[in-house]
Amino acid sequence: MTAPHAAHAANAGRHSDREAARRSRVLMKGNEAIAEAAIQAGCDAYFGYPITPQAELLEWMARRMPELGRAFVQAESELGAINMALGAAATGARVMVSSSSPGISLMAEGMSYMAGSGTPMVLVNIMRAGPGLGSIGPSQSDYFQATKGHGHGDYRVPVLAPASISEAMELMATAFELAERYRTPVMVVADGIMGQAMEPVELKFRCPERRTFDWVLTGAAGRPARIVRSIDLQPELLEKRNLDLQHKYAEIARREVRWSGYLLDDAEYVLVAYGTAARVARSAVDKARAKGVKVGLFRPITLWPFPSRELARLAGRTHGMLTVELSSGQMVEDVRLAVEGRCPIAFHGRMGGLVPTPDEVLGALKALRGKVERTRHAHAAKEGGEK
Amino acid sequence: MTVHRDTRAAPAGSAPSSATPAVAHPVDPHAPRLVYARPEVLVDRSTHYCPGCGHGVVHRLLAEVLTELYLPAHTIAVAPVGCAVFAYDYLSVDFVEAPHGRAPAVATGIRRVRPEAFVLTYQGDGDLAAIGTAEIVHAAARGENITAIFVNNGIYGMTGGQMAPTTLVGQKTTSSPSGREAASMGYPIRITEMLAQLEGVGYAARGSVADAGQIGKLKAMIKRACQIQLAHGGFALVEALSNCPVGWGMTPRESLEHLRGPVAQAYPLGVIVDRLAAPPKDTFAETCPAPAHPEA
C-alpha cells in the first residue's frame, strides 16, 4: 500500500487541495480497508480464522502485521482466536479479531469472559446469512446476537455499524478507543457487501492515544501480582462485579450514542436503517423526494447503545416510520421500544443474502402511507360524526 | 527485561535448596542450615483442595521451580477451569483466567505480544484432554514457546467426580456408575504421547505425585520444562499423574496406592521427548563432519 499523498497539499491552493484529495483516494475492498484502518489505529495483535465473506481481512493482516513486527496468528478455530485475543489483551496489547456469523457464535464464549473480566478488544463481524451454515450472502440477521447478547451472562458490548467503507475505517479507531476507555469488547458489524465491495476511500487514518493501564499483566516485578478474571464464587462479590458492569453500561448508553440523519427536518415519514440497508433506504429517500414525498432517513451508527431518545423525539412529529433491514425484523423491535406507540412502525426486510431494492422500499413506504392516511380519515370521520 | 537462565547454584554457602531465595548469606558453618521452607511465591494460606489432593504438591513444586529459576517476577500464568481455577490464590504471579480448555490459546496470545515474559499454563485432564484438545494440540503444533503443566487425576473433580477422557477402563465415576465400559465410553487418552509426536514439542514428560521419589522426579521434569522455554526450545508439557481421593471414593492413602499401581500402569512414567537434550556421544561423532582445519 502506498503512503498517503495528502501531506504534499499542505500549503497549496484550492485546486491542488482537490487534486491531492483525488490522488489520495484509492480503491479498496471493505475487508482490506477495515484491516488497514485497524493497523493504522495501532492494532498490536490480530487473531483470526478463515471464513467467507471476511477472509480478505485475515489475508491482509497475514501480510501486513508481520511486516510491521506485530502479532498475527491464524488460529485453529474461532474459539482459539478469541482466546488468543483474551490472552494478548490481558497484557495490555491493542487486539482485534474478525469473523463472520457462524464464527461469531463460537467467539461468544470468549466475548462473555472478556466482558466479565473487563478486557478490551475489537471484534469485526462481516455478517452472512443464517441460521446455521446459511450462506455467504450479505445479511443483518446477527443484530439480536450483537446487541442482545452473544455469550452468557448480564453484559453488553458497544456495537458500531458503518454504512460505507470510509466510515468503517474511521469507526475502527473509535472502536479501539471505546474498548480501552470502558475496558470492554467492542463489535463492529458490517454485512457481506461492506466486506466485499470496493469503494474509493481517502487514506485518512487515526490512531487513538495510548493509555496506561493499572490492571494489565506484565509480570509482577516490583508490585503485587495481578489477576484478570471473571470468577467470583461469593454471590455478594459477583453481584458487585455485575453492578460495576451495569454502571459502566449506563455510562456508555449516556455518552456514546451515535447516529446520522438525512433530510429529517421536514420529514413526514422516516426510514430507519443501518449499514447496507441504510444505503438502499437513502436511495429510496431520494426517489421519494423527487416525487415530492417528504421522507427522511434515520441511521443508527451505534446499534448498542441504540439511539432511542433521538428516535422517540423524532417520532413525535412523524406520521410513520419504516424500518428496513436485511433480516426478518430485528432492529425494528428496538425501534418500537424507542417510539412507544408515538407513531405507526412498519417493516420491510429481505433474508437469505438478498438485498431489497429502493423500489421495494418505496412500495413498503406507500403501503405505510396508505394505512396511516386511511386511519387518519377514519379518525376524522369519527370525530366529525360525533359532532 | 532479562530473564535469568543460569540455573546453577548461587554463591557457595547459600545452599540453593528449593526454598532458599537466591541471595548470598555470610557463611557460618555452625549455624543451622535451612533446608525446607515455603518459597515466597507460594502464598501462605489454607487450602481449598480436598484432603489428600495432589494439586497442592504440584503447586508447591511449581513455586520451587519458579523461585529457583528466578522467574516469579516475569511470569504470566494462565489458570484453568476446574479445581485449579484458584491457582492464583496460591501462586503470587500475574494470572489470567481462561475459559474451559482454552488456556493454551490464551497463553499463545500472551506469548505473541510479550516475548520477554515467562508463560505458564496449568490445566486438569477434563480441561486439557477433552474440551481443550484443539487448543492444546495446535499450541503444541505451532511450537508455542510456553510451559504447560497438565494435572491428570482421571476425573472431573470440581463438578463432582464425573468420567473424564482419562478415566481408567472399569473405573466408577458419577457419570459411569457401573464403571467405564470401553465399548460405549471408549478408552483412556494418553495425550502426552500424542503431543510428543509433534515437531513443535520441545519437551514432553509424565511424572507422578504418588510418593516422595516420584515427586522429586516430577520436580525435575517441571524444571526442565521451564528451562526449555527459557532456551526457546518450543512447547514443553509435563503431565503430573495425581490423585483425587474424594472423586475416586478412596482414602488419601488408598488413592496413592491406586496411583502407584493401575494408574501408573495405564500411563507410563518418564520423559517421552526432550529435543534439546544432547544426543548420545557416538551418534554425535558419526553425524558431525570432521573439522576442515584440524588443529596441529
SS in 3 state form for A188-252?
EEEEHHHHHCEEEEECCCCCCCCCCCCCCCCCCCCCCCCEECCCCCCHHHHHHHHHHHHHHHHHH
The alpha carbon of residue B89 and the mean position of all alpha carbons in its chain are separated, in whole angstroms, by 18
How buried is residue A15: exposed, middle or buried, by Cβ count under 10 Å (0-12/13-18/19+)? exposed
Quick one: closest CA in B to A90, which residue? B96
Instruction: Provide the pLDDT confidence category of residue A313 given band limits of 50, 70 and 90.
Output: very high
Its ipTM equals: 0.92
**CA B187 to each of CA A35, B95, B169, B266: distance values in angstroms, whole numbers, following the listed order:** 45, 34, 6, 10
Query: Does residue B123 or residue B12 have the better pLDDT?
Result: B123
Domain range summary for chain A, segments of one domain joined by +: 6-255, 261-386
Torsion of CA B249, B252, B256, B258, to 10 degrees: -20
Q: How far apart are CA A162 and CA B264, in angstroms?
A: 59
Asked if B118 lies within 8 A of A85 by C-beta distance, the reply is no
Instruction: Extract the C-alpha cell encoding A196.
Output: 466485499
pLDDT value for B243: 98
pLDDT value for A14: 62
Q: How far apart are CA B205 and CA B235, in angstroms?
A: 12
Asked if B73 lies within 8 A of A222 by C-beta distance, the reply is yes
Contacts 24+ apart (CB under 8 A), B157-163: B157/B50, B157/B53, B157/B82, B157/B83, B157/B124, B157/B244, B157/B246, B157/B247, B158/B81, B158/B82, B158/B83, B158/B85, B160/B247, B161/B244, B161/B246, B161/B247, B161/B248
What are phi and psi for residue A215, nearest 5 degrees? -125, -5
Mean pLDDT of A144-148: 96
Judging contacts by C-beta atoms under 8 Å, the chain A residues touching residue B195 are none
Asked if B85 lies within 8 A of A231 by C-beta distance, the reply is yes
* Residue partners of B60: CB distance under 8 A and separation at least 6: B39, B42
From B88, B94, B105, residue closest to A219, measured CB to CB:
B94
Tens of pLDDT, residues A270-308: 999 999 999 999 999 999 999 999 999 999 999 999 999
**CA nearest neighbour of A141 among A351, A304, A357, A361:** A351
Tens of pLDDT, residues A205-255: 999 999 999 999 999 999 999 999 999 999 999 999 999 999 999 999 999
Tens of pLDDT, residues B215-256: 999 999 999 999 999 999 999 999 999 999 999 999 999 999
Instruction: Provide the pLDDT confidence category of residue A385 given band limits of 50, 70 and 90.
Output: low
Judging contacts by C-beta atoms under 8 Å, the chain A residues touching residue B137 are 76
Q: How far apart are CA B148 and CA B151, in angstroms?
A: 10
Q: Name the architecture of domain B55-287.
A: 3-Layer(aba) Sandwich (3.40)
Mutation site, B89, B97, B120, B146, interface A, largest A CB count within 10 A: B97
What are phi and psi for residue B215, nearest 5 degrees? -65, -40
Instruction: Extract the C-alpha cell encoding A287.
Output: 426517489
Q: Does A281 touch chain B (CB under 8 A)?
A: no
How many Cβ atoms are within 10 Å of A210's Cβ, its own excluded? 10
Judging contacts by C-beta atoms under 8 Å, the chain A residues touching residue B108 are 73, 75, 80, 84, 87
Q: Indicate the range of A161-165, A195-199, B261-265, B291-295 predicted with least confidence.
A: B291-295
Q: Do domains A6-255 and A261-386 have the same CATH topology?
A: yes
Instruction: Provide the pLDDT confidence category of residue A9 given band limits of 50, 70 and 90.
Output: very low
> Which residues partner with A129 through β-bridges?
A135
Mean pLDDT of B66-94: 97
pLDDT value for B24: 58
From B73, B92, B106, residue closest to A87, measured CB to CB:
B106
> Which ranges of B128-239 does DSSP label H, i.e. alpha helix?
133-141, 182-185, 191-196, 212-230
pLDDT value for A383: 81
> Which ranges of B50-128 does DSSP label H, i.e. alpha helix?
55-68, 103-113, 125-126
Strand A320-325 relative to strand A345-349, pairing:
parallel
Q: How far apart are CA A173 and CA A204, in angstroms?
A: 11
Q: How close A174 gets to chain B, by Cα (Å)?
A: 22
The alpha carbon of residue B185 and the mean position of all alpha carbons in its chain are separated, in whole angstroms, by 27
Instruction: Provide the pLDDT confidence category of residue B6 given band limits of 50, 70 and 90.
Output: very low
Most distant CA pair in chain A: distance in Å?
85
What is the torsional sign of CA B86, B87, B90, B94?
Answer: negative
**CA B84 to each of CA A83, A247, B88: distance values in angstroms, whole numbers, following the listed order:** 19, 31, 9
Residue B103 near residue B162, CB atoms below 8 Å: no
Q: How close A215 gets to chain B, by Cα (Å)?
A: 10
In words, the CATH class of domain A261-386 is alpha beta
Q: Does B83 touch chain A (CB under 8 A)?
A: no
Judging contacts by C-beta atoms under 8 Å, the chain A residues touching residue B123 are none
pLDDT value for B278: 76
Q: How far apart are CA B42 and CA B63, in angstroms?
A: 6
Q: Does B146 touch chain A (CB under 8 A)?
A: no
Asked if A73 lies within 8 A of B108 by C-beta distance, the reply is yes
**CA nearest neighbour of A327 among A296, A303, A298:** A303
Q: What is the DSSP letter of A328?
A: S
**CA nearest neighbour of B139 among B112, B100, B99:** B112
> Which residues partner with B240 through β-bridges?
B151, B207
Q: How far apart are CA A175 and CA A182, in angstroms?
A: 11
What are phi and psi for residue A257, nearest 5 degrees? -70, 130
3-class DSSP state of B203: strand
Tens of pLDDT, residues B134-185: 999 999 999 999 999 999 999 999 999 999 999 999 999 999 999 999 999 9
Tens of pLDDT, residues A63-115: 999 999 999 999 999 999 999 999 999 999 999 999 999 999 999 999 999 99
Strand A45-48 relative to strand A95-99, pairing:
parallel
pLDDT value for B294: 45
Tens of pLDDT, residues A30-73: 999 999 999 999 999 999 999 999 999 999 999 999 999 999 99
Is the pLDDT at A340 greater than 50? The verdict is yes
**CA nearest neighbour of A205 among A9, A37, A60:** A37
Cis status, amide bond into A305, omega within 30 of 0? yes
Is the pLDDT at B2 greater than 50? The verdict is no
pLDDT value for A387: 54
Helix axes A101-117, A78-90, angle to 10 degrees: 30
Q: Does B131 touch chain A (CB under 8 A)?
A: no
Instruction: Provide the pLDDT confidence category of residue B102 given band limits of 50, 70 and 90.
Output: very high
Q: Does B122 touch chain A (CB under 8 A)?
A: no
pLDDT value for A99: 98
Tens of pLDDT, residues B257-296: 999 999 999 999 999 999 998 766 655 444 444 555 544 3
pLDDT value for B277: 87
Judging contacts by C-beta atoms under 8 Å, the chain B residues touching residue A74 are none
Judging contacts by C-beta atoms under 8 Å, the chain B residues touching residue A75 are 105, 108, 138
- CATH of the domain spanning A6-255: 3.40.50.970
**CA nearest neighbour of A324 among A372, A285, A286:** A285
Q: How close A193 gets to chain B, by Cα (Å)?
A: 31
How many Cβ atoms are within 10 Å of B187's Cβ, its own excluded? 12
What mean pLDDT, rounded, does chain A reach?
Answer: 94
Q: How far apart are CA A174 and CA A41, in angstroms?
A: 9
Instruction: Provide the pLDDT confidence category of residue A181 given band limits of 50, 70 and 90.
Output: very high
Strand B235-241 relative to strand B147-152, pairing:
parallel
